């Protein structure tokens, strides 16, 4: 699913990492490393938002492309600006067509499946009970479940998670990590999970990559 | 004090005909202010709106002094301010201080130009506090054209801008040109502010671009209802303000700000009731940590 060959990322003179790595379909790869070691940069490379300094990278056999439907992205928890006029289901919907120009007119789109898709992924992460609650009234754990649903909305084959457990309590860390893992088990989705919190994901991980040391174990 | 100066409906019909242009302008401005305001709330840009309006005022005052088009001057000032805030204050943390620096400078320049200006005093005062009779037909055309440009831009960027305002990182990952959208919206906001300055005045632009949207988000979180309600509230405030001020010798802005503030108060009260009635409560549910059986996907 992912292949990095002699992949080097550097800022000026400083080399962040040098990687040779293959990640199989359905693999759960946990990425750790100290702050500034280039964990998030690795995800940006895989998202097509950053170029390698040298070497090659492919995702699903091709160079990464911005906004690809086969890649889902779960960000770290950030609070929403108070009174943002969006509900949980709207956040998921943005994951489907939020990148398209124009107005979000209801039922004007030929892709009429979008609404059902939103319902389905919300149900799948157990968020249907708060689907209509404004985003700024959701708890941190609830918001992260909805963000997982958003990442799953395009039915991705690769899920990139950028510290999604940060600032969640232990209970919700476990729930969010298990949601990601369940998706992997049921659909063979590849997972790259960047985290500082190893405990909730270690039982789920196939391999752990320490980018700082660039060691795969 | 004479109440007839504040509300006086004698010869109302005849007066109304004189401000027909202003009423059209007010209705369009309500639409522009209400819709742009939705993003001002989402992106936390209320202070930026105020900063832009002060520089827009400076531009209009310079135009007045040098005999150029006041509309053109206010647009130029607003675009310069929007560009400066967009470039120097691209990070939210810097933005406040950049605006805090620009705002008094703009206001100072404006006061300088006005004190050098020797024309009618009403022209001077109008830039700060609004004027309704000054909208002649060429100026109305300017205003309508600029407003149309703002509305078209907003319509085109609406969805990706919502996405980028909510979650810039996720939006970028999904392919939204976040770095382009943010300054682009600042410029659109600059235009919206510039047209508003010409009717409600530089000091009171927020009553049009911030208050209605801030009121709307109190009663709804629907991405469809909020912009529509915000535009409706803004239009009611401006057109209502103009209709009330027609019979008086007082500028239009106190009427607009009073209506808009009252509507905000009402929306807050309704929102508080709505919250208590269970906006936050969840539908009866399985326990939060229930992991459901395979299926839906």
% of residues, chain A, pLDDT over 70: 95
pLDDT digits (tens, 9 = 90+) for A59-76: 999 999 998 999 999 999
Q: How confident is the model at residue B152 (pLDDT cuts 50, 70, 90)?
A: very high
In a domain, A92, yes or no: yes
Candidates B166, B217, B223; nearest CB to A83 = B217
Of the candidates A84, A137, A186, the beta carbon closest to that of B42 is on A84
Angular region, B229: left φ>0, alpha ψ -120 to 50, beta rest: alpha
Q: Within a domain: residue B160?
A: yes
> Residue range B2-12: average pLDDT?
70
Instruction: Give whole-number Cα distances, A174 to A27, A158, A198, in Å.
Output: 19, 20, 11
pLDDT score for B91: 76
Structure token pair of residue B74: 């206010």
CATH number at residue B177: 1.10.3470.10
List, as own/partner pairs, every contact residues A38-42 make where C-beta atoms lie below 8 angstroms and the sequence separation is at least 24, other chains included: A38/A9, A38/A211, A39/A162, A39/A194, A39/A211, A40/A162, A40/A194, A41/A9, A41/A16, A42/A9, A42/A17, A42/A192, A42/A194, A42/A211
pLDDT, tens digit, for every residue of B221-254?
999 999 999 999 999 999 999 898 887 878 888 8
What is the pLDDT at residue A193?
A: 97
pLDDT tens digits for range B166-218: 999 999 999 999 999 999 999 999 999 999 988 888 888 999 999 999 999 99
Q: Compute the Cα dihedral for B163, B165, B171, B175 and give only its sign.
A: positive
In a domain, residue B185? The reply is yes
At B283, the pLDDT band (50, 70, 90 cuts) reads low
pLDDT at position A109 over 60: no
Q: In this complex, do A104 and B280 lie within 8 Å of one another by their Cβ atoms? A: no
Tell me the DSSP string of A107-128.
T-SS-THHHHHHHHHHHHTT-G
- Assign residue A64 the CATH number of its domain: 3.40.50.300
- Residue in chain B lying closest to A159 (CA): B173
Structural domain boundaries enclosing B134: 15-206
Residue to test with chain B: of A85, A162, A169, most B Cβ within 10 A: A85
Please check whether residue B130 is in contact with residue B241, taking contact to mean a CB–CB distance below 8 angstroms: no
pLDDT (0 to 100) of residue B209: 95
Arithmetic mean of pLDDT, B135-159: 92
Whether A6 is covered by a domain: the verdict is no
Domains in chain A, number: 1
Q: Is residue A5 part of a domain?
A: no
CB-closest option in A73, A141, A155 to B170: A73
Whether residues B158 and A103 touch (CB distance < 8 A) is answered with yes
Question: Is the CB of B223 less than 8 angstroms away from the CB of A187?
Answer: no
Q: Of all helices (H) and strands (E), which one includes residue B162?
A: helix B137-166
A180 in any annotated domain? yes
Task: Look at residue A2 and tell me if it is in a domain.
Answer: no
Are B174 and A49 inside 8 Å of each other by CB? Answer: no
Task: Band the pLDDT of B88: cuts 50, 70, 90.
Answer: confident
Residues 6+ apart with CB under 8 A from B40: B46, B48, B49, B189, B209, B210, B213
Cβ contact B286–A83 (<8 Å): no
Instruction: State the total domains in chain B.
Output: 1
Identify whether B233 is part of a domain.
no
Of A126, A130, A135, nearest to B290 by CB-CB distance is A126
Range of the domain at A184: 11-78+86-102+110-216
Domain annotation covers residue B173: yes
Q: Tell me if B253 is assigned to some domain.
A: no
Q: Using CA atoms, how far apart are residues B58 and A113, in angstroms rounded to an integer?
A: 51
Q: Looking at the domain assignment, is residue B47 inside a domain?
A: yes
Rg for chain B, CA atoms, rounded: 21
Amino acid B288: pLDDT: 43
Q: What is the pLDDT of residue A110?
A: 55
Query: Which residues, listed in sequence order, are joined to residue A58 by a DSSP beta bridge?
Result: A3
Q: What is the mean pLDDT of chain B?
A: 87
pLDDT score at A14: 86
A140 within domain boundaries:
yes
Q: What is the pTM of this model?
A: 0.90
């Amino acid at each position: 699913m992912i292949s990095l060959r002699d992949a080097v990322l550097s800022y000026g003179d400083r080399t962040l990492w040098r990687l040779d790595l293959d990640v199989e379909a359905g693999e759960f790869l946990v990425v750790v490393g100290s702050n500034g070691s280039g964990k998030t940069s690795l995800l940006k490379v895989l998202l097509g938002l950053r170029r390698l300094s040298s070497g090659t990278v492919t995702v699903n056999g091709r160079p990464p492309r911005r906004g690809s439907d086969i890649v889902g992205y779960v960000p770290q928890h950030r609070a929403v600006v108070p009174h943002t006029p969006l509900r949980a289901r709207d956040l998921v919907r943005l994951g489907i067509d939020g990148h398209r120009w124009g107005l979000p007119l209801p039922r004007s789109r030929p892709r009429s499946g979008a609404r059902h898709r939103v319902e389905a992924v919300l149900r799948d992460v157990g968020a249907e009970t708060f689907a209509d609650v404004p985003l700024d009234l959701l708890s941190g754990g609830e918001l992260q479940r909805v963000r997982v649903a958003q990442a799953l909305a395009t039915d991705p084959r690769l899920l990139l998670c950028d510290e999604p457990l940060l600032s969640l309590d232990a209970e919700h860390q476990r729930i969010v990590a298990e949601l990601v893992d369940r998706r992997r088990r049921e659909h063979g989705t590849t997972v790259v999970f960047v985290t500082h919190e190893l405990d909730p994901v270690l039982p789920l991980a196939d391999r752990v990559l320490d980018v700082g040391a660039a060691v795969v174990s | 004090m004479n109440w007839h100066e504040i509300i006086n409906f004698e010869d109302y019909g005849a007066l109304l005909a004189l401000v027909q242009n202003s009423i059209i302008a007010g209705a369009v401005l309500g639409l522009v202010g209400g819709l742009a305001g939705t993003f001002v709330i989402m992106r936390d840009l209320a202070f930026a709106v105020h900063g832009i309006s002060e520089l827009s005022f400076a531009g209009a005052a310079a135009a007045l002094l040098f005999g150029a088009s006041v509309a053109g001057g206010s647009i130029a000032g607003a675009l310069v301010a929007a560009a400066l805030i967009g470039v120097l204050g691209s990070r939210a943390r810097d933005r406040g201080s950049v605006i805090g620096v620009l705002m008094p400078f703009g206001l100072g320049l404006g006061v300088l130009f006005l004190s050098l200006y020797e024309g009618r005093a009403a022209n001077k005062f109008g830039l700060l506090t609004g004027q309704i009779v000054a909208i002649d037909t060429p100026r109305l055309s300017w205003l309508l054209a600029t407003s149309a440009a703002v509305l078209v831009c907003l319509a085109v960027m609406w969805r990706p801008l919502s996405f980028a305002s909510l979650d810039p990182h996720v939006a970028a990952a999904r392919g939204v040109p976040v770095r382009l959208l943010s300054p682009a919206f600042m410029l659109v906001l600059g235009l919206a502010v510039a047209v508003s300055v010409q009717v409600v005045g530089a000091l009171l632009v927020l009553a049009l671009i911030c208050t209605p949207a801030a009121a709307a988000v109190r009663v709804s979180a629907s991405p469809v209802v909020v912009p529509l309600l915000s535009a409706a509230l803004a239009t009611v405030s401006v057109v209502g303000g103009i209709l009330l001020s027609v019979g008086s010798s007082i500028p239009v802005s106190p009427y607009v700000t009073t209506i808009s503030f009252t509507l905000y108060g009402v929306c807050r009260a309704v929102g508080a009731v709505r919250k208590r009635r269970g906006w936050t409560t969840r539908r009866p549910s399985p326990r939060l940590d229930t992991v459901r059986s395979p299926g839906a996907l």
